[in-house]
Structure 1
Amino acid sequence: MPKLPKYLLIGSTKAYSGKSATILGIAHQLQQKGLDIAYGKPLGTFISANQTAPIDEDIEFMTQVLKLPPERLEWPLLSVDANTIHKRLLGEDKTDYGQFLKHYLQEPAGDLLLLEGPGTLEEGSLFNLSLAQVAAAIGASVLLVARYHSAELVDCLLSAKQRLGDYFLGVLINDVPSDQIEVAHTMVRPFLEQQGIAVLGMLPRSSLLRSVSVGELVKQLEAEILCRPDRLDMMVESLTIGAMNVNSALEYFRKGNNMAVVTGGDRTDIQMAALETSTQCLILTGHIPPQGFILSRAEDLEVPVLSVDLDTLRTVEIIDNAFGQVRLHEPIKVECIRHLMNEHFDIERLMNQLGLEAAVTA
């Protein structure tokens, strides 16, 4: 009888806490140790319609980055959108999805099946696919990913421990600001360990991981690309609004790094000032075309210029939202998370907790 795989379910206390990044980092380290890794996602999201058949973008991404064969993938039992929720609420869908979780047990899938859980502890409850319900159905250990905002994070994790019970394996605390690192290490971590919550890693904040590609901004803003469409892979780490006088703007821009500068299409002085500093893209509002010499200078400096048919306030709102919902799908971010996880995550402790042994020695 083949050995059944072990299950590690990665969940989070809030959406966009870094589940995919954590899975990627763990999988990479375990693969380096010669372990056979599989990946699954019971509750599907981020469905791409630009396919002959709909496909979950996270699964597509993980498959490519981890080089997983089809037999090492477990597809979603359900892809949640407004339509599936409405059917459930109206009683048109009475499926017991919890029962379907048993299919994850039917076939062996390597040494460890990494399952990406819902975005919160509550998400999926409508379909019997919440984090706790999935863990109980398949006997999975749960690793939580929590984005650090303050020491008040402790409350959230203590509550999660009560809800998850014996399935709760530990936590990875992500995105710790530089001015909070000492408190996190000397106060938060020891306290959580005393409460029986294993802290398997604490990742410092990375401006790169929080960044957004110019291409993603084009998509979110439905922007017209006026020049350098070949440089949409440039990463934007901060947003600056060019609405002041040119002297103040230049001083302000010089303090920024890898900026997207939003300004009016008629503000030629601000546009030129931005191009002479660390600007990754210019975003011109009001759908006003820039002067030819601005585009010429941007071409020389390889800075994409975008035009949006929006006012400045709405443009900034969309970009802020993009920063708040950053995903991992750029190669430079993949390398960054691998480095951070190698440096700050205790993979040996995780393996001991799961009873895994390396197949190769480093």
Structure 2
Amino acid sequence: MPKSPRYLLIGSLEAYSGKSATILGIAHQLKAKGLDIAYGKPLAGGWGQSQMDDNDGDVQFVAQTLGLEDNRLQPTLLTLDNETVQKRLLGEDTIDYRQQLSEQTQQQGGDLVILEGSGTLDEGKLFDLSLHQITHTIRAAVLLVARFRSLLLLDGLIAAKEQLQNHLLGVVINDVPPDQIETIETLVRPFLEKRGIKLFGILPSSKLLRSVSVGELVKQLKADVLCRPDRLDLMVESLTIGAMNVNSALKYFRARHNMAVVTGGDRTDLQLAALETSTQCLILTGHIPPSKSIISRAEDLEIPILSVDLDTLSTVEIVDRAFGQVRLHEPIKYQYVCQMIKEHFDCDRLLAELGLEPAGAIS
């Protein structure tokens, strides 16, 4: 009879903490060590869910990126949204999701099943699928990914330890500014370890990981691409509004890097200034077509121009939201994450704590 796999549940204190990136990076390292990895996302949707999110697409992206067969994927049990909550409240949904999860566990093969938790510790409690309930149902070890905003994150980690107790294997602190890494190492690490919370990794901030592809902006803005549709893979790190005089704009543009510039279609002077600086795309509002000279210059410089049927404020709100909810679907981000986990995450310690041994490195 084949042995049952170990379960590692990767959760977070808040949505968009970097769970998916951490999972991909860790799974890549463990597969390289010869482990048979499976993946699942029991509870999809939830807090922070937006039009950018596509849970089926996310699961398939992980599966394809890691080269997982169908029998190494655990199906999602429930998508948490207003409709599913209402059905539960009305008594139309009486499914025992913990029982379903338990049955999935009994059928799953592999050495290690990595499950992606929902946005917070409590999400899914109405359906008996909170992080704590999943942990008890399948006897999973929990690794929390915490985005660093300040040292106040310690309150949340201590509370999580009290709730999860010995099921909490440890934490990864993500998105740490360079000037805070030493503080995490010298103050936070010993504080956490003394309280039985192992710190497996300190992941530095990355402009690349917080960037958004021009293609994603096209999708979110429902934009028309006026030129260079072959360069929608360019990554945008910042947003600039071109609404000032051209001299002020040039000084401002030169101080930014890999930006998207939002300006009116009639502002030829600002468009030209943006094209001569570190611009990844122009986003033109007002449905006024740019001049032929601007199109020609953008073609030469390989900078896409997008046209949107939105006002400037609405455009900026959508782009800002895209930066706040970045996805990992660009290959360059995946490659970066794998390298970052290799350098800043202790996979050997994770394996030891899980009671697993490498099966032999894969070249």
Kept after mapping to 1: 8 A contact 2:286/2:310? yes
**Structure 2 partner of 1:157:** 157
**Structure 2 partner of 1:234:** 234
**Structure 1 partner of 2:251:** 251
Kept after mapping to 1: 8 A contact 2:45/2:118? no
Kept after mapping to 2: 8 A contact 1:262/1:284? yes
Q: What secondary structure, in the 3-state scheme, does the structure 1 residue paired with 2:134 have?
A: helix
Does residue 104 (structure 1) correspond to residue 104 (structure 2)? The answer is yes
Shift of 1:106: 1.4
Q: Distance in 2 between matches of 1:336 and 1:244?
A: 36
**Structure 2 partner of 1:84:** 84
Kept after mapping to 2: 8 A contact 1:13/1:121? yes
**Structure 2 partner of 1:139:** 139
| Cα offsets for 1:203-257 (capped at 9, x unmatched) | 0000000000001111111111111111111110111111111111111111111
Q: Distance in 2 between matches of 1:109 and 1:40?
A: 12
Kept after mapping to 1: 8 A contact 2:172/2:199? yes
Shift of 1:104: 2.7
Percent of aligned positions with the same letter in both sequences? 66
Shift of 1:361: 4.6
Kept after mapping to 2: 8 A contact 1:7/1:113? yes
| Cα offsets for 1:78-97 (capped at 9, x unmatched) | 12233212211222112121
- For 1:73, give the aligned amino acid: L
| Cα offsets for 1:248-294 (capped at 9, x unmatched) | 11111111111001111111111000000110000011222111111
- For 2:249, give the aligned amino acid: A
Kept after mapping to 1: 8 A contact 2:45/2:55? no
Equivalent positions of 1:198-347 (< 5 A) are: 198-347=198-347
- For 1:329, give the aligned amino acid: H
**Structure 2 partner of 1:44:** 44
Kept after mapping to 2: 8 A contact 1:6/1:354? yes
* Worse-superposed segment, 18-27 or 85-94: 85-94
Alpha-carbon RMSD across the aligned residues, in angstroms, is 1.7
Does residue 178 (structure 1) correspond to residue 178 (structure 2)? The answer is yes
Q: Distance in 2 between matches of 1:188 and 1:264?
A: 48
| Cα offsets for 1:52-94 (capped at 9, x unmatched) | xx97112100111000111111111112233212211222112
**Structure 1 partner of 2:5:** 5
Give the TM-score normalised by structure 2: 0.95
| Cα offsets for 1:141-177 (capped at 9, x unmatched) | 0000010000111011001111111110000000001
Q: What secondary structure, in the 3-state scheme, does the structure 1 residue paired with 2:306 have?
A: strand
Kept after mapping to 2: 8 A contact 1:209/1:328? yes
* Worse-superposed segment, 86-95 or 218-227: 86-95
Kept after mapping to 2: 8 A contact 1:12/1:118? yes
Kept after mapping to 1: 8 A contact 2:72/2:108? no
Kept after mapping to 2: 8 A contact 1:104/1:138? no
Kept after mapping to 1: 8 A contact 2:11/2:145? yes
Q: What secondary structure, in the 3-state scheme, does the structure 2 residue paired with 1:189 have?
A: helix
Shift of 1:179: 2.6
| Cα offsets for 1:273-329 (capped at 9, x unmatched) | 000011000001122211111111111111010111111111111111100001111
Shift of 1:105: 2.2
Kept after mapping to 2: 8 A contact 1:170/1:198? yes
Q: Distance in 2 between matches of 1:190 and 1:259?
A: 39
Give the TM-score normalised by structure 1: 0.96
* Worse-superposed segment, 175-184 or 118-127: 175-184
Structure 1's consecutive aligned runs of 4 or more residues displaced over 6 angstroms after TM superposition are none
- For 1:205, give the aligned amino acid: S
* Gap regions ≥5 residues in structure 2: none
Q: What secondary structure, in the 3-state scheme, does the structure 1 residue paired with 2:257 have?
A: coil
Q: Distance in 1 between matches of 2:189 and 2:255?
A: 34
- For 2:7, give the aligned amino acid: Y
